[in-house]
């Protein structure tokens, strides 16, 4: 039957292991018609909204690093003032009352400060590496999720397409059976029960087809969302075979390595950042040392028109030192708090190891179970095809009843759909194992 040929199209790729992505499609920013799984993944890695946001977050992180490190550069500020004294201040010197100052004053100054010893800048310098690492890991995590989600969505659509093909084939058989049953009734060979049963089955199958098509439309829209496409854009897929049936197989003896999981590395990075924060709190006991240079232009005159006729400049260079002596135990409390946060992250790492181990165990159990179900459903499908063909011949010869033919036909359709669902479950669970192992390959 045609089903034997088309059903193998589900076995089209080794679930992204060793996948060679179509870079030209992604680079062009357009998705070709009849897109393959490789092209879909490449396109999604370039256009998915979450990935674009993650890239922007990385750029924001670079700006934050540059902003924090800018404190090592000289900080130059200019000031200016202009004042008119309505009443000049007076003072008493040796019994004489003397006005101090003049009615009009103005000053312009420039000052440059250079940090030499600053705990905040030390922390910013050392944290830059971890911030970049954290942003890269966030992008990697999003890319892995994208590859897995797009692959599953593609397989899900393929399952729906083949299910619709099965239902269409079933409708063709039912229409033929209905015609034959009606002809037998009109010739008086059978009563009207057979063709009415055929009509009921035909109507139910047509309703099933409509439901399947509606679900397929939703699955296409979901894939468009993963790709970052507008829902109104057209999307057609190619289901040409890309691999043999053996591509659903997986090495179940591969050892779980927690360090391969991006989530584990993200938590380790967070721990490193927290350790740096603890060190920063300890650095708060250090003094802050800086150098400065300043120049001021000063102008004084009772007549505003002559205010800027004479400059009385002043300038100086020097060092500034700030030594915190007592802050009400705040620094000690901040150190202890940061150390406790370190301890909490260490427990997070241990908890994450347990979660990853459980996730891997569940994925492996699901894969083995689905493989067993797939083998069983494949055998049942082949048996049901033989049974249907035999009963159809016997029914045509008048040996079997129409009810037996309908039962055989229903068993055939059910076994074919079960086979497709089992095959999708195997492909999906294989992706789950690769994700649990941290071996999902993505385009760099």
95 lies in some domain: no
Distances (CA, A) of 194 to 169, 204, 399, 401, 425: 20, 15, 15, 9, 37
* Length of the chain in terms of residues written: 444
Average pLDDT score over residue span 94-119 = 90
Q: Give the rounded distance of the alpha carbon of 3 from its chain centre.
A: 36
Flag whether 92 is in a domain.
no
Q: Using alpha carbons, list the distances in angstroms from residue 62 to 66, 71, 110, 120, 127.
A: 6, 15, 30, 18, 12
267-297 residue pLDDT tens:
999 999 999 999 999 999 999 999 999 999 9
For the cut 70, the answer to whether the pLDDT of residue 364 exceeds it is yes
For residue range 369-425, what is the model confidence (pLDDT) as tens digits? 999 999 999 999 999 999 999 998 998 888 888 888 889 989 999 999 999 899 899
Give the pLDDT band (50/70/90) at residue 19. very low
Judged against a pLDDT cut of 90, whether residue 344 lies above it is answered with yes
Q: Compute the mean pLDDT over every residue in the chain, rounded to the nearest whole number.
A: 87
pLDDT of residue 183: 82
Rounded to whole angstroms, the Cα distance separating 293 from 443 reads 52
* pLDDT at 8 (0 to 100): 44
Give the mean pLDDT of 312-332.
93
Mean local confidence (pLDDT), 328-357 = 95
**Position 443 confidence tier, pLDDT thresholds 50, 70, 90:** low
Closest CA to 122 of 272, 282, 266: 282
Weakest-pLDDT range from 89-93, 135-139, 348-352 = 89-93
Q: Write out pLDDT tens, residues 390-404.
A: 998 998 888 888 888
- Which tens digit of pLDDT belongs to each residue from 427-438? 899 999 999 999
Q: Which domain holds residue 286?
A: 2-76+117-290+325-437
* Span 172-197, average pLDDT: 80
Residue 353 inside a domain? The answer is yes
Given CA atoms 374, 376, 379, 384 in this order, what sign does their dihedral have? negative
What was the pLDDT predicted at 442? 75
The residue among 224 and 92 whose pLDDT is bigger is: 224
Q: How confident is the model at residue 190 (pLDDT cuts 50, 70, 90)?
A: low
pLDDT (tens digit per residue) in 133-169? 999 999 999 999 999 999 999 999 988 998 999 999 9
**CB contact at 8 A, 92 and 262:** no
- Asked if residue 241 is part of any domain, the answer here is yes
Whether pTM > 0.75 for this model: the answer is: yes
Does residue 373 sit within a domain? yes
Instruction: Please give the tally of structural domains in the chain.
Output: 1
- Supply the pLDDT for residue 252: 80
Mean pLDDT across 82-108: 88
Q: What was the pLDDT predicted at 57?
A: 95
Q: Which of 206-220, 248-262, 332-346 has the lowest mean pLDDT?
A: 248-262
CATH code, 249: 1.20.1600.10
Q: Give domain status of residue 421, yes or no.
A: yes
In a domain, 14, yes or no: yes
Instruction: Tell me which range, 16-20, 31-35, 185-189, 207-211, is most confidently predicted by mean pLDDT.
Output: 207-211
On whether residue 344 sits in a domain, the answer given is yes
């Amino acid at each position: 039957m045609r089903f034997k040929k088309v059903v193998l199209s589900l076995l089209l790729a080794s679930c992204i292991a060793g996948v060679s992505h179509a870079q030209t499609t992604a680079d062009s920013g357009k998705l070709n018609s009849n897109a393959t799984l490789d092209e879909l993944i490449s396109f999604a890695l370039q256009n998915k909204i979450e990935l674009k946001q993650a890239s922007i977050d990385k750029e924001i992180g670079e700006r934050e690093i540059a902003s924090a490190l800018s404190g090592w550069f000289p900080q130059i500020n200019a000031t200016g003032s202009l004042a008119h004294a309505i009443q000049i201040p007076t003072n008493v010197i040796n019994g004489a009352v003397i006005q101090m100052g003049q009615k009009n004053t103005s000053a312009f100054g420039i000052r440059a400060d250079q940090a030499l010893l600053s705990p905040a800048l030390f922390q910013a310098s050392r944290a830059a590496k971890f911030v970049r690492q954290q942003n890269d890991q966030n992008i990697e995590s999003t890319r892995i999720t994208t590859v897995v989600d797009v692959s599953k969505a593609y397989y899900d659509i393929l399952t729906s397409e083949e299910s619709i093909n099965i239902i269409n084939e079933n409708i063709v058989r039912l229409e033929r059976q209905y015609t034959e049953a009606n002809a037998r009734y009109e010739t008086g060979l059978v009563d009207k029960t057979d063709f009415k049963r055929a009509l009921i089955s035909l109507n139910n199958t047509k309703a099933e087809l409509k439901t399947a098509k509606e679900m397929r439309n939703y699955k296409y829209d979901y894939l468009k969302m993963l790709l970052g496409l507008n829902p109104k854009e057209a999307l057609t897929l190619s289901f040409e075979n890309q691999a043999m049936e053996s591509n659903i197989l997986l090495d179940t003896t591969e050892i779980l390595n927690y360090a391969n999981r991006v989530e584990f590395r993200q938590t380790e990075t967070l721990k490193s950042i927290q350790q740096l924060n603890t060190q920063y709190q300890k650095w708060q006991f250090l003094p802050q040392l800086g150098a400065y240079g300043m120049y001021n232009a000063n102008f004084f005159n009772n007549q505003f028109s002559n205010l800027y006729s004479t400059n009385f400049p002043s300038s100086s260079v020097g060092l500034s030192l700030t030594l915190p002596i007592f802050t009400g135990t705040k620094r000690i409390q901040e150190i202890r708090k940061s150390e406790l946060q370190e301890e909490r992250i260490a427990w997070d790492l241990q908890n994450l190891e347990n979660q990853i181990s459980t996730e891997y165990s569940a994925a492996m159990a699901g894969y083995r179970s689905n493989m067993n179900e797939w083998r069983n459903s494949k055998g049942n499908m082949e048996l049901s095809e033989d049974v249907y063909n035999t009963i159809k011949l016997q029914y045509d010869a008048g040996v079997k009843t129409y009810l037996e033919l309908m039962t055989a036909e229903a068993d055939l359709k059910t076994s074919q759909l079960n086979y497709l669902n089992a095959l999708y479950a195997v492909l999906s669970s294989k992706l789950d194992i690769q994700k649990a192992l941290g071996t999902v390959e993505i385009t760099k």
